Structures are given as structure tokens and as C-alpha cells.
Amino acid sequence: MDAANYLYLSALLFTIGAVGVVVRRNAIVVFMCIELMLNAANLSFVTFSRINGDLNGQVVAFFTMVVAACEVVVGLAIIVTIYRSRRSASVDDASLLRR
């Protein structure tokens, strides 16, 4: 099977994630879309690893997963805190940094 197909899939997933981040308001959904983008990137890395026949891509994928895990921890904690204080998980409501 052509390895390029994986890359198309990766691009598709990334685009879906990106559109989701821009379009959706719910913080949890936005968050999931970001995860989707990260994993799309991971898919690309692994694919390139396969194409090039070395392990570099896979190693980077592992790094990305670790970063994503950290991000989930911190991000969810923030979302939960915001939800607690303002009873809403909409990202548009949390625009306090503007001023």
C-alpha cells in the first residue's frame, strides 16, 4: 500500500481538527480537536519514519505524545477551573485577557 495515503489521511485529520478549533465554542470540543491535530501530525511522523526506514519519526511521535499528555493535564485543569467559576465551557466567554 502506498505510504502516501497515510499522509493524505493525516492531512484530512489535521484539517478537520483545525476547522473544529476555529468553528466550535465548547472548550472540550476545541480541546479534542487540538488532540486530533496533534495525532494527525503523529501519523505523519510515523509515516515518514516508515518511508525513510529509520526511527527518527517514531521517536518524535513519542515526544509529541508526552507533550500532548502534559497538555491534556494542564488544559483540562484550566477548563475545569473556568467551568467551575463561570458555569460555562465556552471559549468565547473567557476573553478576559483582552484588557
Partner 1 sequence: MMMNSTSIVYLIALPLAGAVILLLAGRRSDKWGHLLATALCASSFFVGLYQLSLMFNRPSQERPVSQKLFEWISVGTFKIDAGLLLDQLSICFVLLITGVGTLIHIYSISYMAHDPHRRRFFAFLNLFIAAMLLLVLGDSYLNLYVGWEGVGLASYLLIGFWNEKPAYATASKKAFVMNRIGDMGLSFAIMIAFATMGTVSFIGVQAAVEQTSTPVLTGIGIMLLVAAIGKSAQFPLQAWLGDAMAGPTPVSALIHAATMVTAGVYLITRSNFIFDAAPTAQLLVVIVGAITLMFGALIGTAKDDIKKALAASTMSQIGYMILCAGLGPVGYAFAIMHLLTHGFFKAGMFLGAGSVMHGMNDEVNMRKYGALRKAMPITFVTFGLGYLAILGIPPFAGFYSKDMIIETAFNAGGSKGIILGIVTLLGAGITAFYMTRVMILTFTGTPRWDEKAQPHESPWLMWLPMAVLAIGSATSGYLLSSNDSLVKWLSPLFESHEEHHELLPPIIVSALALVMVAIGVAIAFLKYSRREIDAVAPKNVSIFTRIAREDLMQDRLNEAVFMRPGQELTKTLVKTDAVIIDGAVRAVGRLTIATGLSLRRVQNGFVRSYAAFILMGALAMIVAIWVVVQ
> In terms of CB distance, is 22 or 69 closer to partner 1?
22
Give me 65's grid cell: 505524545
Binding site for partner 1 (CB under 8 A): 18, 21-23, 25, 30, 91-92, 94-99
CB of 99 to partner 1, least distance (A): 8
Report helix, strand or coil for 95: coil
How many angstroms separate the CA atoms of 79 and 64, rounded? 21
CA 53, distance to chain mean position in Å, is 26
> In terms of CB distance, is 18 or 60 closer to partner 1?
18
CB of 5 to partner 1, least distance (A): 21
